[in-house]
Structure 1
Amino acid sequence: MPLVTLLAVSGLILMPSSTWAEDGARLAAQLCSACHGVHGHSESPMFPRLNAQTPEYLVAQLKGFREHARAETDARSYMWAIASQLDDATVQSLADYFSRQEAIPGAAGDAALLASGHEIFEHGVPDKGVPACASCHGAQAQGAGTFPRLAGQHQEYLLRQIEVFKNGTRGNAPVMTAIAHTLSPEQAEAVAAYLQSR
């Protein structure tokens, strides 16, 4: 959906952020659901699932979009203009709302691929110095503080984020930048498939 259409649908053109009530559910429905789905459960792999995401991560990313700290193409195309309209109270309200939404398990995939991804998630890739994903993202990939929930996230979205960490356009997580350069395409695909299945 073009950015101008998104802005018009969300009402951003029609009313300034200072007039918005701090009502996360209403704001999420007006502002976010066209791309991120009802209650943040995106059906399109183009857009990440926000339901049950950690509030600290959501706050950090929304502020990152607002301040142009995230510069990947999707951020510039979809989120820069939207986030520029959000004050800190609105950011917190949206983060609190999405963090309280139900986590919905993802879809299973190829058993061998999932087993390989599970191994990387739990143990990393020791011979390449890649730590276990679970060490930052939680034993169930549920996220912890500013480390995002990855469980149930779209495989395609996760692979795209690994790419933007690798090419440097998303530079707000140095640990992930280093990991993205170390994972092989096959390893990245395996761990993304496993995470989608959680």
Structure 2
Amino acid sequence: MPVIALLAAAGLTLTPALAQSGDGARIAMQICSGCHGVGGRSESPMFPKLNAQTPEYIEAQLKGFREHARGENTARDYMWGMAALLDAAAVKSLADYFSHQPATRGATGDAALTTKGQEIFERGLPDKGVPACATCHGAEAQGAGTFPRLAGQHKEYLLHQIEVFKNGTRGNAPVMSAVAHTLNDEQAKAVAVYLQSK
């Protein structure tokens, strides 16, 4: 069910006044928290955590949703309609709001997978031409500019994103498409488990 219909069923509406208010905290609480949790601390692995995310990344993704540059099913179902209602001030305000929320650590997982994932994150897969994830995402996976924070993110969400980079439905990051095609399932899972544990 598209997000607009879900909001209507819950008695919520993203009114033009709210969408253009530039009040990121209010938009986040009244609308975004339904999926992304209070303060962006999503508890559902279907929806990414937004707390402590880089503001540049949030802005870029909201613009990508609005311009349909992200074509995966979840983007179409949940975010295309929502982002279309946000003006530039609202986008900037939401990005600022979420970027200032405290980071939360994810759950720990299998120790062997975590160790393997950390090695790939820090060193890459040189024999396959895969650079270290830390090169773009930061030494602690804290993100840098338009490269997102990955630390503490749901492993299921991360694995889904690797899949949509691989199948081409998320076409707004060519570097990640190349990386996703190179990682095998076990390597992708290891990186996701490691990142969730941070």
Normalising by the smaller structure, the TM-score range is over 0.9
Does residue 1:5 correspond to 2:6, yes or no? yes
CA deviation profile, 1:47-87 (whole Å, cap 9, x unmatched): 00000000000000000001101000000000000001001
1:17, 1:87 within 8 Å by CA — same for their partners in 2? Answer: no
TM-score (norm 1): 0.95
SS at match of 1:76: helix
- 1:55 matched to which residue of 2? 55
Quick one: distance in 1 between partners of 2:125 and 2:168? Answer: 22
- 1:177 matched to which residue of 2? 177
Does residue 1:84 correspond to 2:81, yes or no? no
CA deviation profile, 1:135-186 (whole Å, cap 9, x unmatched): 0000000000000000000000000000000000000000000000000000
Equivalences, count: 196
1:51, 1:102 within 8 Å by CA — same for their partners in 2? Answer: yes
Query: In 2 relative to 1, CA 108–95 (structure 1 residues): closer, same or farther, beyond 3 Å?
Result: same
1:118, 1:194 within 8 Å by CA — same for their partners in 2? Answer: yes
- 1:69 matched to which residue of 2? 69
Query: In 2 relative to 1, CA 152–19 (structure 1 residues): closer, same or farther, beyond 3 Å?
Result: closer
Matches within 5 A, 1:5-154: 5-7=6-8, 9=10, 10-12=12-14, 15-17=15-17, 20-154=20-154
Quick one: distance in 1 between partners of 2:17 and 2:151? Answer: 32
Displacement, 1:6?
2.3
Structure 2 gap ranges (5+):
none
CA deviation profile, 1:16-47 (whole Å, cap 9, x unmatched): 15774221111100110000000000000000
Hey, which bits of structure 1, 4+ residues long, moved more than 3 A?
Answer: 7-10, 17-20
RMSD over aligned Cα atoms: 1.3
Quick one: distance in 2 between partners of 1:40 and 1:162? Answer: 21
SS at match of 2:28: helix
Percent identity, aligned pairs only, is 71
SS at match of 2:104: coil
With 21-30 and 169-178 compared, the bigger mean Cα shift is at 21-30
